[in-house]
Structure 1
């Protein structure tokens, strides 16, 4: 019994090392996927063999490489209008990432500003901002996005603004909590005593402490915005044809699933890989930023 008790710490350490090695492998794979996805999106105009808008009815519904009816050059097959699926998928990935990144930046700026105001201004200002945060959390945002796009149209400008307000409440809550925590620190009281103004304190002392949690939240919210944009485009209220996006390609190709599943599989696979990659990297950044998790 004594030998078993003595061996328990060694077994725990060995299990922790194995778990750490497994997590490192997953993070490495996610990092490689992130580099490939980013490179494919940035270099899409030079990597794609065909123009994503070119149609060829003589080559419509051709299967990917490896099938009997494979058409030369169309590695991932063609869609119902003879357009190259691989070219459209890479350009769709490029547009989806651009929309998601723009929406995440707008949410970061809006939520960070409101959270900063709520953390520094007590009373009715803070109560009003936090009431808006509670309303955003309580109402399913997909329904709000559908309503806004149905009323205001599906232009890229409106779509970016809708994606921008999708997750601002998370940034506002994080910034407000961090500002309240930092405000209790002795060096903030010393800065106030020295006569420093609120803008100087926010720029010099508060914002540097917010970089780490905001970067983590930005990474985590990026995948949610990708899913939201894909959902809206799938329903026909996002990116409009013939401009390709991953969600619209899945939506347009769903009627051909029984006979030409490759039209849907390639963009759907990119959506899955993209969201999982961003989520894993976000979890890794969160673990690196949290001192308590690093000490375990």
Structure 2
């Protein structure tokens, strides 16, 4: 055996959440397990779902979950008012809700982050114009905006993603603008400006790394809020239309059966709770890791 082979360290197994597991407490580890589990469920939905999410069986309608009377074999979480499997619809609903919330949060980050960065760096009339747009967005109820857009263009997936992307972008803009204006007065930014650095270089090299932390926090908050917002739209009949399942639409359609068949609402509601819990806890950890000011201590 060669000397290099003898002295080589043992290979350590690595996965994307390894550092979270090593450095976090039990709450963070629980959030990591829940988050990875939910992501795996969304990726493997066609493989693990026991039924088709649109299959109906009126003979089996409103059957309770495992452990209760009238439970029907195979329907672990029971059935809804049309005899559809709750577990299957939760799996597919989680998949679509996760995709919609992620797409909406990314769009909001891109819109608000870009406008906030431009507003903070440019100042003057540009700043006034962008902040006027932000104030208008805050003043107009988002429900009315969503109702107008969805009534004109329809409740297609593309339109719903656009509407969800409009939710909360003004918070990104305001936070980033405030951070940029504060950082512009810092000595390292003034030194870069005095050295002749271009505004674009100052923004990308010196300002953006220092605003990652608040943007991560706002992104996780916005993601969770968009999950609830999508549920609100579905509750009002403005979201993804039946028979396609989202977690919000399942809660909305099951509200009439809450006294007699609470499992129709409890299963998707608990899934929403687990999803928002994992995102919030992991977002707090990511904020601490991304904050250059905390790393320098």
TM superposition score category, shorter chain reference? 0.7 to 0.9
Q: Is the 8 A contact 1:142 1:228 kept in 2?
A: no
Distance 2:81 2:179 in 1: 52
Paired residues, number? 274
Secondary structure in 2 aligned to 1:207? helix
> Given the alignment of the two structures, is residue 147 of structure 1 paired with residue 141 of structure 2, yes or no?
no
Secondary structure in 1 aligned to 2:167? coil
Structure with bigger helix share is 1
Corresponding residue for residue 129 of structure 2:
128
> Given the alignment of the two structures, is residue 165 of structure 1 paired with residue 166 of structure 2, yes or no?
yes
Corresponding residue for residue 110 of structure 2:
109
Q: Is the 8 A contact 1:103 1:163 kept in 2?
A: yes
Corresponding residue for residue 81 of structure 1:
82
Q: Deviations over 1:258-286 (max 9, x none)?
A: 33222221111112222233233334445
Q: Is the 8 A contact 2:213 2:291 kept in 1?
A: no
Distance 2:281 2:189 in 1: 35
Deviation at 1:28, TM superposition (A): 3.0
Corresponding residue for residue 273 of structure 1:
274
Distance 1:247 1:288 in 2: 32
Secondary structure in 1 aligned to 2:128? helix
Cα RMSD for the two superposed structures: 2.5
Corresponding residue for residue 60 of structure 1:
61
Q: Deviations over 1:35-77 (max 9, x none)?
A: 2222222222211111111222232222211123222211111
Give structure 1 stretches of 5+ with no counterpart: 1-22
Deviation at 1:290, TM superposition (A): 6.4
- Taking the TM superposition and a 5 Å limit, the aligned residue runs for 1:176-191 are 176-191=177-192
Distance 1:147 1:183 in 2: 39
Q: Is the 8 A contact 2:212 2:290 kept in 1?
A: no
Distance 1:194 1:291 in 2: 23
Q: Is the 8 A contact 2:183 2:189 kept in 1?
A: yes
Structure-2-length-normalised TM-score: 0.83
> Given the alignment of the two structures, is residue 231 of structure 1 paired with residue 232 of structure 2, yes or no?
yes
Distance 2:180 2:127 in 1: 12
Distance 2:185 2:54 in 1: 58
Distance 1:73 1:194 in 2: 70
Corresponding residue for residue 217 of structure 2:
216
Deviation at 1:288, TM superposition (A): 5.8
Q: Is the 8 A contact 2:153 2:159 kept in 1?
A: yes
Give structure 2 stretches of 5+ with no counterpart: 1-23
